[in-house]
A and B are shown apart, each in its own frame.
Chain A
Amino acid sequence: DTAVSQTPKYLVTQMGNDKSIKCEQNLGHDTMYWYKQDSKKFLKIMFSYNNKELIINETVPNRFSPKSPDKAHLNLHINSLELGDSAVYFCASSGSAEQFFGPGTRLTVL
């Protein structure tokens, strides 16, 4: 009964490949987010959706494309992966101020 879940937990891939990370929340929240945490542990917002509508789109390369098929799901697709994309990607959701984070997906680009 995990509140915010992500798949996969680990993702190892070659440069140039395309990959997707999936996120689901069962909290009934309207808003979902994607964050990137780099090797120095810095957490930075990438995108946010509210009721399937994109509301936050930070300065992120257009190789990254979020998709929200419904308000319980927010997926992240990454094209043409680069070495610098290696990081932990966290999904989060919120119904008000508090954000609940998923367990993270550790992406390693070789």
Chain B
Amino acid sequence: GENVEQHPSTLSVQEGDSAVIKCTYSDSASNYFPWYKQELGKRPQLIIDIRSNVGEKKDQRIAVTLNKTAKHFSLHITETQPEDSAVYFCAVSIGSNYKLTFGKGTLLTVNP
């Protein structure tokens, strides 16, 4: 089955700095790549996603890049704020049933 590796497992940055989280996947047929944010004690929520026919997508301070050849994708957060502190999960799915395989998560801490 699909295998998703996510790095780093923890990331600490100063407010205003950028943060980058990377994921690699194993199945070249994967075609949908969402990122979820989970605050402490809360539910995961989609923050951005990208499909395999697109190389990059931006939404204000967050962006996702996809390299299909290398089978990796990354989340970029610029001008980080304390409220960005959370666990971030990458995920991958194949086909139309949207079965998501998640990475193990990155705990991002933004220090004021």
Which residues of A does B touch, CB under 8 Å?
A: 31, 40-45, 48, 50, 55-56, 90, 94, 96-104
The distance from the CB of B31 to the nearest CB of chain A, in whole angstroms, is 10
CB distance from A31 to the nearest CB of B (A): 7
Indicate whether A99 sits within 8 Å of B43 (C-beta atoms), given known contacts A40-B104, A42-B104, A45-B100.
no
Tally of A-B Cβ pairs under 8 angstroms? 49
The CA-CA distance from A102 to B45 in the complex, in Å, is 10
> How distant is A95 from chain B, measured CB to nearest CB, in Å?
10
Q: Is B43's CB under 8 angstroms from A97's CB?
A: no
Residues of B contacting A: mostly: strand
Interface residues in chain B, defined as those with a beta carbon under 8 Å from any beta carbon in chain A: 32, 34, 38, 42-46, 49, 51, 87, 89, 93, 97-102, 104-105
Known: A41-B87, A101-B43, A104-B43. A94 touches B102 (CB 8 A): no
Say which residue of B42, B51, B100, B104 sits within 8 Å of A99 (CB atoms): B100
Inter-chain contact A90/B44, CB cutoff 8 Å: yes
B87 to chain A, nearest CB (A): 6
User: Are the C-beta atoms of A101 and B45 separated by less than 8 Å?
Assistant: yes
CB distance from A18 to the nearest CB of B (A): 26
Given contacts A41-B38, A98-B34, 12 further A-B contacts (CB under 8 A): A31-B97, A41-B87, A42-B105, A43-B102, A43-B105, A45-B100, A50-B97, A55-B97, A97-B32, A97-B34, A97-B98, A100-B46
Which chain B residue lies CB-closest to A6? B43
